[in-house]
Structure 1
Amino acid sequence: MRFTEDSILDGAARAVEKHGGKVTIAQISTEVGAPTGSIYHRFPSRDHLLIRLWLRAIRRFHVGLLAAPDIAATSRHIPQFCRNHPIDAQVMTLFRHADLIATAPVELRNEVLHINDSAWAKCRDLTQEFYGTTSPELVERMTLAIYWCPYSLVRRYIGQPIPPWLDDATVAATLAIVEAGRTPPE
């Protein structure tokens, strides 16, 4: 077949870049240069296509995240990935994982449910390495430090140039959060 799943996903990514989350199959078709029938041959619905695109972007993001050797590099990966892969970064904002678990087409739900398993395992590993334990409170602190804090700092810049200083700010905030976990609360 002339139009592969990847070529359609690539066209969908370009369409999302131009039109945002309200992108239509017709706009995707234009980007791909394929008739809508070719798209529906590979993907049964617009939601199916966009969720597959989202899953691909998450997998691409995980490559560098999982390869990061320590807490600082893990934190820094978020702004760097978003800067170096702006379309994938935009695609990753199409859905909230928690919402998608409940709303994805049945045949995609298991994949959606487990897409972040390796990232959560890395978080537990970093927690064990840094604190010497994986208590729920410290895993939650590490999750906040290496995922939610960097994401909240970079989110406002997605779709525009991400300033270089954000990398250092992200690492500083991450390290402050994890260091605060070494001190028992009063």
Structure 2
Amino acid sequence: MVRTARFSEEDFIEATMALVAEGGPAAATMQAIARRVGAPTGSIYHRFDSRSAVLGAAWNRAYASFIKALAPLLRKGRPREAALAILPWSRENERRARFLLLNEPVTLFEDTPPPAPLREELERLEEEFDGAFRACVSGCGDGVVRDEDLARAKFLIFDAPIAILRPHLMRGGALPPFAERMIAELHAGMPLAATRNRAARPAVVA
């Protein structure tokens, strides 16, 4: 009779995200992850060779979820909607949001990089997201992607919304009701593409 595994990779990945979300990267030791799942420490090593492997798997899982929420809107040239989509994603995925938006890969993997397959997967995800982002910037301007336009778009779509959410993610609890209004006002007050691009296009009357 084949014995069914009691603990899955998913169990350890979710436990890793929870520990990092609650206590930072240092909290996610192999022993702590196993303890969170209720598994013997040896059980996690049957699925992940190292701490960097389970952290890498957790990062890719959270990042893929984030990309799935934003990339389709970016490809459709809807930067404001993409920025606003961070809010429902964070509400529906609070643990993943705290894990992903309050940390950086350089901090998570400062001791040892994740194994090659996980690094390759992360590179693929980054290329996918960057392609959607650049397509959005190109579509909102005159087709030429300039450094200034990229900087504006990065600020409006990612940096500013995440900065608004960061204090609330750090302390937990409900996201502020004013976040959506602030993000919308930022997009209304600052064009995504540089002014010189907008001058060449006729104004659109709502």
Partner of 1:15: 19
Residues 6 and 131 (structure 1 numbering): CA distance in 2 closer, same or farther, change over 3 Å? same
Determine if contact 1:101/1:113 at 8 Å carries over to the other structure: no
| Structure 2: gaps (5+ residues) | 198-206
Q: Secondary structure at the match of 1:2?
A: coil
1:122 to 124, 132, 140: 132
Paired with 1:162 and 1:177, the residues of 2 have a C-alpha distance of 24
User: What is the identity, as a one-letter code, of the residue corresponding to 2:15?
Assistant: G
The alignment of Structure 1 onto Structure 2 pairs a total of residues equal to 184
Two-structure CA RMSD over aligned residues (Å): 2.5
CA displacement 1:7-47 (0-9 Å, x = unmatched) = 22122233334433222222211221111111011111112
CA displacement 1:128-170 (0-9 Å, x = unmatched) = 2211223222233222221222222222221322102101211
> Structure 2-normalised TM-score?
0.77
Determine if contact 1:78/1:154 at 8 Å carries over to the other structure: no
> Structure 1-normalised TM-score?
0.84
User: What is the identity, as a one-letter code, of the residue corresponding to 1:110?
Assistant: E
- The structure that is helix-richer by fraction is 1
Identity of aligned residues (%): 24
User: What is the identity, as a one-letter code, of the residue corresponding to 1:2?
Assistant: R
5 Å-filtered alignment, 1:1-186, equals 1-23=5-27, 24-68=29-73, 69=76, 70-93=78-101, 95-97=103-105, 104-107=113-116, 108-137=118-147, 138-159=149-170, 160=172, 161-179=174-192, 181-183=194-196
Q: Secondary structure at the match of 2:15?
A: helix
Determine if contact 2:53/2:115 at 8 Å carries over to the other structure: no
Q: Which has the larger radius of gyration?
A: 2
